[in-house]
Amino acid sequence: MTDQPFVHLHVHTEYSLLDGFCDIKKLTRRAGDLGMNALAISDHGTMYGVIDFYNACKEVGIKPIIGMEGYITPFDRRMTDRDPTKDRENHHLLLLAMNDTGYKNLMKIASAAQLEGYYYKPRIDKEFLERHSEGIIATSTCLGGQIPGMIMRGNDDGARAIVDWYIQTFGKDRFYLELQHHKLDELAAVNEWLVRSGRKDQVGLVATSDVHYITAEDYDPHDTLLCIQTTALKAEADRMRMSDNSYYLANPEQMWSLFGHINNGEALLNTVRIAEMCDLDLSRKEYHLPVFPVPEGFTSDSFMRHLAEKGLVWRYGDRAYREADLRERLEFEIATIEKMGFATYFLIVWDLCEFARQADIWWNVRGSGAGSVVLYSLGITNIDPIQNNLLFERFLNPGRVTMPDIDMDFPDDRRHEMIAYTSRKYGEDKVAAIITFGTLGAKAAVRDVGRALGVDLALVNQAARLIPTEPKPKPVHDYVEGNPDLKKLYGSNEAIKQVIDTAAHLQGVSRHASTHAAGVIVADQPLVEYLPLHRQTKETDDAGALKQVTQFPMETCEAIGLLKIDFLGLSTLTYLRRACDLIARHHGIRYSMDNIPYRPTGDPTQDGMLRETFAMLGRGETVGVFQLESSGMQSMLRDMKPSKFENIVAGVSLYRPGPLEFIPQYNARMHGREQVEYLHPKLADILDETYGIIVYQEQIMQIGQQLFGYSLGEADLMRRAVSKKKKADLEKHRTIFTEKGPEYGVNTDTAGKIFDQIEFFANYGFNKSHAADYAVITVQTAYLKCHYPAEYMAALLSTYFDDAVKVTTFLAECKRLDIPILPPDINESQLDFDIQPLIDGRRGIRFGLAAIKNAGVGALTMLIHERETGGRFRDLADFASRVDLRHVGKRTVEMLVKVGAFSAMGSRSQLVAALDRLVSFSADQHRAREVGQISLFGDVMSASNDDLLSKLPKIEEVSNRSMLEWERELLGIYVSSHPIDEFLTALQGANVITSHDVLNADGALHEKPVRYAGLVSSVRKLVTKSGDMMAVVKLEDRLGAVDAVLFPKMWDRFKEFFEETGEVVLVSGRLDLGRGEPQIQIEGVTQEFEMAVGDSAALIPTYADAEPIWMEGEEDFSEPNMPAAPQPAAPAFTAPPPPPAPAASAEPPGFDALPPLDEDGMVFDDAPLESLEAPPPPSKLVRVRFWRSGSEERDRWRLTKLVGEINAFFGRDHYEIVVIEAGAPTHVLRFNGKTTQCCDALLRKIEKLEGVEIEIQEESGIAATGR
């Protein structure tokens, strides 16, 4: 402890966003190291970090003082005033809470400033401060305060009047004049005035350091932070900056050296006095659950029990009376809930579900709540925890008293109704959204710092791309050490070194505030009694957006005992409900989440339909099916061939990083190709469902319970502890396994092996309750798609109409399913996509008008209402006379015309030209009707369609290209046709694949040569690690879009084809299935489509491509059962394994995940030239000697790969393959009409294949030989 006492009372943490640079834990540790026994927090206008600060101070044994540097209006203005000429001025005001009353007043001040007084800054006025001054200490603060402002303007009387007001409001014991010492010209005069005033008025002085960073060395990174805040360049002279490097946490000795001479250190000693006056305890923890009204004669506990017991009978029928285990489970859960005091919470959620049921709002409970029989009996969850072997202790553990999470999904278009109901039920002042804070990650810090320092953007992006995006980020210097390319860049470029070093200081700093996507806080009292409130963090038109947001983040809200309810928006429920509405309308069958089957029901018809559903899943036909849409999932399902619900639960649990590698084993065991083995017979009951593989967290808990004597609650704690990999916990539980195992029939050696398995799987085991709950929705969506495809696809299109990528994918799926898509039509379309029966018996999907951009849903609703009540529109005159286009607007009609919604009434060109006249005609009609002329003169004012258009000149219809551009602009997609259509005829016979082929390719096609024709819809240029330019191009056809990559040499060669989007190109290249989503590595580009057809060799070679010329006396070696010959000694040969399937990933990596470019690998030096024209006469012969391996299957694969490599190079050279067996040539395979390009890249490719030798034959003889 220092001999010169001092306490910092003016401190800005990182929660003074992009202004303060004090990490709270580092700040409090530093204060402790400096021997201080107290410390204050005083962030700008908010209390975001006060609880974190309080806890951090307690951890290091210093006293926390809670405060805020707020903003107050000039005394003649009110906090509600918004005059831009008068109210942009505000003044700083330092406030510190002395006790609980002061803390509550401080929260009210912080809340009112945000909710009522915000105008450029969160402000209060003197009247509000006066009403909430009790328990608060105030100071005159920095030069931004009212009193220093008056002093600097030379207004002594004004300054003295303000001092008098503060003395009168706070008293001399709670108001202080604040002295600071920084290199500011005005500060010396202000301090001198304050010292004189203090002596005269007997007002205490207090010394502060206006701390914005922790040490003097933090000045430079803090200065960069200010540049990020203001988007200024650090090199700019005229920008916001601190006056010097003195705004740090100075030690007491430094502060005494600055202020000790003033009144014998009065300003320093008063800091200690203030600290002693502040005595606030925020450590107490109690729950503040809303008061739930229960019927007379009930308590919350008894009413929940009453509902649960009734619900048990509702759910289980006679079993509720007959099965003792069922009643025991219910009793155990109820007793646990009552003991923990959470009955009210369960009733609140039950009430929300009851409202949703009455309002016909669908919902789902995600997470571990599905493991509760009480929740199932209350009708909150919809999956039977007994039937699905789900555990209550995974949801609510008696040994770990924390508020349970019942996370609820609602349709994203009705979520706001649930929030509005909650607000009405419990009171607007008791309900708030939750704030969140975005922090500077390593990648973002590098980019932000690079911009602030003015470093070349391409260079900064190059460095940033070498930093991975990870769920658990590491310090940026760890990425430098772990990435040779980034390390090289860091070591060789001084500018990047400075960027990364500065970013290392800023990484993790809070950058901005936003609102949690789902969480809502509900309390028993107005929330301002428990925490400070904030205005909405952004402007929003969301009807469900709450006006107030907590200033504390979610974890802090829960830590102080507030109830959080997650209202999650799930679009799946939206399109599921829409599909069921369409099915009811068109088939008369009413489905809901309660009756769409996912397990056999005993009804022969439904069970047969369910079998067909699983068969569809086994074919991988899962576009639009919840959780199963990715190509990796489709591939997994084709291998799995699921036949029951449990397979889907396991599949979605295994398809994640980590357990992904066990999918082949699961499938092999499921289909009997591999025997299931258990380390102990007791594991069979637990792991039988997943064929001996630990998949679920609940299985780990059951193993602990049944084989080693844990209770399920203890087993859950064991699972959590083991997953954290702490050595002490691992040793503790391993000892329990080996010691307790023999008591339960498990020997020590086996117990150790079982623990090894648990230790491995604890990291990867999935929450079965969540997996099962979501798997129900998965199977239900698949069921509807399988049996009501038109309705299901229409619902998907209505839900995602503004997502062009999804709409394109869904339209391609409609084409595959033979569902016609009908364009928008003013007489046929509804707002949403709808079903329209066709003459040929098929059921088409009519485009919804709401999908038209800029048309306005309100205006469209008026049009549809008029059509529904008055009948179809006969012609333009009828439309204009019935619909008041003054209200609908010309723009809406124009959008409808351009997408073809009026095509039955005239050409688009004529209708666009007639718009002004049409609108004028409509206005005349409706004005006349308003004054009664129509009723007096009947049809005299009417006009026919011909009259309306008769004076218009004959106009040719707009070009097909223009119509398509209109459709793309207004619908996001092409509807009537596609720009690629005009080239399809020319490409007949060119072996061109489609985007559907690419996106559904299996592993066998990895690295196979392909051709693809598509429209260039986007070009993303990138810089490689060596500074070369490359690009990722999105190429779109009728069925979707694929990414195509041009590495640097290919980009240099073909970039002119991609200068403008909208061009149609034919590319050749290799299919790359190893990076998540399939893509094409481009090796050739052309727009000479007719010429390309002449070079349309099959792109995946087979032996049918070759014309064998047999050596005398030999048979075709491709016949089966050919005896193996011994390997010749010549070229050493190791048979390669079959080509690996592409590594799957639950989350496809971005382009940053591409491996480093390699001149011998990714980039072909002399790859295909500019066009795919028919080659001129050959000038070389490429002869490849091919040694047989003794394995027919391997040789077939090797030969196919060899021919594929040769065919990938387009050129004018012929080739042949000489097959060598037992040291002698047996066959010569000649490929008539096939050519290649003899180049270094081809030689390198073939040299990589073992067991082959290549020579180049020219007119003069052998030119080159390679092996």
How does pLDDT run across 1136-1152, given as a tens digit for each residue? 333 333 333 333 323 23
Beta strands at 175-179 and 136-139: parallel, antiparallel or unpaired? parallel
Structure tokens at 476: 């940026």
Cα–Cα distance, 1066 to 1011 (Å, whole number): 7
Q: Which residue has the tokens 């901005």?
A: 512
Cα–Cα distance, 856 to 896 (Å, whole number): 11
Are 175 and 139 in contact by the 8 Å Cβ rule? The answer is yes
The length of the chain is 1267
- Band the pLDDT of 1124: cuts 50, 70, 90: very low
Are 511 and 436 in contact by the 8 Å Cβ rule? The answer is no
- Tell me if residue 211 falls in helix, strand or coil: strand
The closest alpha carbon to 1073, from 1042, 1030, 1037, belongs to 1042
Are 848 and 797 in contact by the 8 Å Cβ rule? The answer is yes
Cα–Cα distance, 366 to 772 (Å, whole number): 9
Question: What residues contact residue 646 under an 8 Å CB cut-off, 6+ apart?
Answer: 689
| pLDDT tens per residue, range 733-787 | 999 999 999 999 999 999 999 999 998 888 788 999 999 999 999 999 999 999 9
Largest CA distance in the chain: 124
| pLDDT tens per residue, range 148-197 | 999 999 999 999 999 999 999 999 999 999 999 999 989 999 999 999 99
Are 337 and 330 in contact by the 8 Å Cβ rule? The answer is no
Q: What is the mean pLDDT of residues 556-574?
A: 93
Q: What is the mean pLDDT of residues 1111-1132?
A: 31
Structure tokens at 275: 């600290």
Q: From its phi and psi, is residue 419 left (phi > 0), alpha (psi between -120 and 50) or beta?
A: alpha
| pLDDT tens per residue, range 951-1000 | 556 788 888 888 888 888 898 888 878 888 878 777 776 678 888 888 77
Exposed e or buried b for every residue in 369-402, given b needs 16+ CB within 10 A?
bbbbbbbbbbbbbbbbbeebbbbbbbbbbbeeee
Is residue 1155 scored above 70 in pLDDT?
Answer: no
* Crossing angle (nearest 10°) for helices 768-787 and 604-618: 100
Structure tokens at 1038: 């009728």
What sign for the dihedral angle of Cα 293, 297, 302, 307?
A: negative
Catalogue the E-assigned strands of 333-469.
364-366, 407-410, 431-439
Q: Which residue has the tokens 């290249």?
A: 1069
pLDDT over 90 percentage in the chain = 61
- Band the pLDDT of 1133: cuts 50, 70, 90: very low
Cα–Cα distance, 201 to 160 (Å, whole number): 10
All structural domains of the chain: 69-214+273-277 (3.20.20.140), 588-785 (no CATH), 852-971 (no CATH), 981-1099 (2.40.50.140), 1104-1266 (no CATH)
Strand partners of residue 1037: 1040
Q: What is the mean pLDDT of residues 1092-1111?
A: 36
Amino acid at 1209: F
The closest alpha carbon to 179, from 193, 164, 159, belongs to 193
Q: What is the dihedral of CA 389, 395, 399, 401, to 10 degrees?
A: -170
| pLDDT tens per residue, range 47-68 | 999 999 999 999 999 999 999 9
Tell me what the pLDDT averaged over the chain comes to. 85
- Tell me if residue 254 falls in helix, strand or coil: helix
Q: What is the DSSP letter of 766?
A: B
Between 1223 and 336, the more confident residue is 336
Are 880 and 827 in contact by the 8 Å Cβ rule? The answer is no
pLDDT of residue 621: 94
Exposed e or buried b for every residue in 1018-1027, given b needs 16+ CB within 10 A?
ebeebbbbee
Q: What is the DSSP letter of 1059?
A: S
Helices (H) and strands (E) in the chain, counts: 50, 28
- Tell me if residue 1193 falls in helix, strand or coil: helix
Element of type H or E holding 650: helix 645-654
pTM exceeds cut of 0.75 = yes
- The phi and psi torsions of 57 (rounded to 5 degrees) equal -60, -45
Are 757 and 686 in contact by the 8 Å Cβ rule? The answer is no
Q: Which of 452-466, 603-617, 899-913, 1248-1262 has the lowest mean pLDDT?
A: 1248-1262
Structure tokens at 1150: 């971005």
Cα–Cα distance, 1084 to 957 (Å, whole number): 37
Between 940 and 173, the more confident residue is 173
Is residue 669 scored above 80 in pLDDT?
Answer: yes
Is residue 1077 scored above 70 in pLDDT?
Answer: yes
Are 994 and 981 in contact by the 8 Å Cβ rule? The answer is no
| pLDDT tens per residue, range 282-340 | 988 888 999 999 999 999 999 999 999 999 999 999 999 999 999 999 999 999 999 99
Between 1176 and 477, the more confident residue is 477
Q: Which of 267-281, 796-810, 927-941 has the lowest mean pLDDT?
A: 927-941
The string of DSSP codes covering 459-483 is: HHHHHHHTS---SS---HHHHHHH-
Cα–Cα distance, 1140 to 1120 (Å, whole number): 25
Q: Which residue has the tokens 């240029």?
A: 1021
Amino acid at 695: V
Are 1070 and 1083 in contact by the 8 Å Cβ rule? The answer is yes
As a whole number of Å, the end-to-end CA separation of the chain is: 78
- The phi and psi torsions of 787 (rounded to 5 degrees) equal -110, -15
1260 burial type by CB count under 10 A (0-12 exposed, 13-18 middle, 19+ buried): exposed
Q: What is the DSSP letter of 846?
A: E
Beta strands at 1029-1037 and 843-846: parallel, antiparallel or unpaired? unpaired
pLDDT of residue 974: 82
From residue 717, how far is each of 559, 722, 728 by CA, in Å? 20, 9, 14
